[in-house]
Copies of this chain bind each other. A is one copy, B any other.
Amino acid sequence: MSGETQRATDDDVRVARTRRDVGRAALRVITDGGPETFTHANVAAEAGYSRTTLYTHWPTKVELVTLALESVGRMPHGRRTGDPRADLGAELRAFRRGFVEAKLDQILMALAQWGVAVEEIAAIRDSIVEDGESVAREILAELASDDELEAAVAMLSGVVVCPALMYGRVPTDDVIDTAVAIVLKGLGVLPVDPV
């Protein structure tokens, strides 16, 4: 390996470490404090890097938010078994885990609030949401289309999102399973019990 290449590799490692450290710090600042405390100075302090480093690599807040969101990673998705009832239940549990472990509610709220004003952030939010609901949408697309599909996707997301945002709590397994059953019965996929 030539000296040139060695140096490039060392640089790559250093840059990757900086990205990772700053990304995680930026995410902590977003979830702990919200938009008002999200500044280059606060993220630099949290990450243990100089403000100059941050301004050099990520000159704008939008770039810093984008970096933070990369460090959230993709939403965990369950493995599909082909049984829509089991697969949707697994998806909603994974989604609920995101709310509990990754503070997805605070990330979504921060993005929603910023998204109103900043177009780039609205685009980032849309791509996170699309990724988050992609598997549930795929499963439901085999069972419904158009308005039924939109309604079903929004309702199943709502089972997790609404209690989390509106009451600060996540649904139990039983509520998740019951919601999946209601939707699948309503779509004619599962038989309806006699009332």
Contact = CB atoms under 8 A, between A and B. Distances in A.
Interface of A: 34-37, 105-106, 108-110, 112-113, 115-116, 122, 125-126, 129, 147-148, 150-152, 154-159, 161-163, 165-168, 171-172, 174-176, 178-179, 181-189, 192-195
A185 B109 CA distance: 32
**Which one of A35, A151, A178, A194 has the highest number of Cβ atoms from chain B below 10 Å of its Cβ?**
A151
B192 A186 contact: yes
A158 B162 contact: yes
Given A112-B109, A167-B129, A148 B182 contact: yes
Nearest to A176: B151
Nearest to A143: B195
Contacts of A110: 113
Those 3 A-B pairs whose CB atoms lie nearest each other, nearest first:
A158-B158, A36-B36, A182-B186
Q: In the complex this chain forms, how many copies of it are found?
A: 2
B195 A165 contact: no
Contact of A185 (B122, B192, B193): B192
A108 B184 CA distance: 30
B147 A178 contact: yes
Contacts of A181: 186
A175 B188 contact: no
B126 A155 contact: no
A101 B178 CA distance: 33
A174 B148 CA distance: 9
A123 to B, nearest CB: 11
A155 B153 CA distance: 10
